[in-house]
Each structure stands twice: as structure tokens, then as C-alpha cells.
Amino acid sequence: GDLYGFRHDDVTKPPQEHFGDFPATSLAVADDAAEFVVRATSSGDKPVIYSKDSGKTWTYVSTLPEGIGNDAGGQVVMSCDGSTILWQPGTAGTSAYRTGDFGDTWEMCEGLPINAKLLADGVNPDPFYATYDGTFYISTDAGKTFSVLTTFLISSFDWVANNDVEGEVWLGISGGGVWKLDVAKKAVEKTAGNCTQADAIGLGKAADGQTQMAIYILGEANGEGWGVYQSIDGGATWKK
């Protein structure tokens, strides 16, 4: 899609305006409070900009951590209630930061390596997750401190938090299919289905009669070639 971003008021009609004349390097929304949205950019007045009205209007953060420039870009994530933003600037050699007041103040996230990839829990506003070089990290205090959760042999993957189950994260691996990170078990488990490639992964509404959210991937399953696949049973079976 277009990284400039759009607000869709009606999914049957194309929006007439996009989110400004500069690209976003990252975009996140609060899972339980969709009025809160945040994005990062490398070419705006400030590198982090947020909305409190589902993208109708946008406000730049008022301050930046010391030493971080206006072209920092990077990755942003937001707690499921919109109260906390974590930001990994794109500037080389910088750590991740958190703010609980929409950028009026910032503090460094302790315990994370530089350039860690971030994710917010989909149900509880306090847990955040991070990964770097095959190690998963967890924070239970809204991103203030992180500790090692578990390790994994693969370091490159797409991931998404389940916004229906706390502590459940799904991984899509280009050369390895679909896996589930179970935070309570501190374990990464491969799904049972015949999925061999998952370049991108997302979750959607549970199918009728099912309790688990549907999983969608761009990849390959059942030997049917690359495409868009759906699983409605936690990755046990796949349909193209």
C-alpha cells in the first residue's frame, strides 16, 4: 500500500486525502482504542506524529530525546489503550524510547539492544515485546524495562499480536511457515498445518463457529504455490 497513509471512512469508496506530503516509516494504532494512532517519518517537522481522532487530525510530538534529529524515522508501536508509545529511532546507534504523555517527555527503554524490533500486546496495555538477533524480550511495566523472554533460531520474521488473547504472538517466517510465541510458556511453537512460507502475517475476525482469530498470510501452504492463505483453526489447516 501507499506508505503516505489514508483514513478510510467507507471501505467501498477511495479516500480523497492522505496523511500529508511525506512518507511514514512506521504506523501503529491502539488495538482497543482505535482513535489513537501514531506514525514515524523521516521527512516531517518532527519524526513522531500522533492522532487522537482516528487520523482526522495530527499533532507532532513537542520534544525529542536528546541527540535525536527530526529525520530519525524508525519504528513506533502503541499500547492497546493508546496510553504509551514506544519508539525505536532509525538513527544508527540509538536505543528505543518510551513516552506516556504523547512526546512531552521521553525515557530510554532499559534492557534492550540497539535497533530491536518492537511490538505491543493486543489486550493488556502493560506488556510490550521486542526481538533482536533471535532473542525475544518482554516488558511488563509499559516499556520502562525489558528482560529476556526466550530465544529462537530464526531472527528474521513478520509478527503480530493477537488482540483477543493476551500474551499470544504469531510469527510469519519466509522459509519456515507460521509459528506461535506463547508468552506464558516462554516458548515458540510451530503450527501443525502444511505451511512452508509466510512472508507476511495478519489476524482477522474468527470464522463462524470458531473461537480463534483467523490467520492470514502471504506465502505458500499445501504445495499450492505463493498467494494469500487463510487458516481458521490456529494454523492446523490452510485455504488459498
The model's pTM is 0.95
DSSP one-letter code for 2 = -
Q: Strand 168-173: give its sheet, edge to edge.
A: 158-161, 168-173, 177-182, 187-190
> Quick one: pLDDT at residue 7?
85
Alpha carbon of residue 104 to chain centroid: 23
pLDDT in tens, 9-41: 898 998 877 776 668 899 999 999 999 999 999
Q: Kindly give, in sequence order, each residue whose CB lies less than 8 Å from that of residue 1, ignoring residues fewer than 6 positions away.
A: none
Q: Please count the other Cβ atoms lying within 10 Å of the Cβ belonging to residue 220.
A: 21
- The tens place of each residue's pLDDT in the chain, 240 residues long, gives 455 678 888 989 988 777 766 688 999 999 999 999 999 999 878 999 999 999 889 999 999 999 999 999 999 999 999 999 999 999 999 999 999 999 999 999 999 999 999 999 999 999 999 999 999 999 999 999 999 999 998 999 999 999 999 999 999 999 999 999 999 999 999 999 999 999 999 999 999 999 999 999 999 999 999 999 999 999 999 999
Q: Kindly give, in sequence order, each residue whose CB lies less than 8 Å from that of residue 134, ignoring residues fewer than 6 positions away.
A: 151, 152, 153, 154, 155
> Quick one: pLDDT at residue 1?
45
Rg (CA), the chain: 18
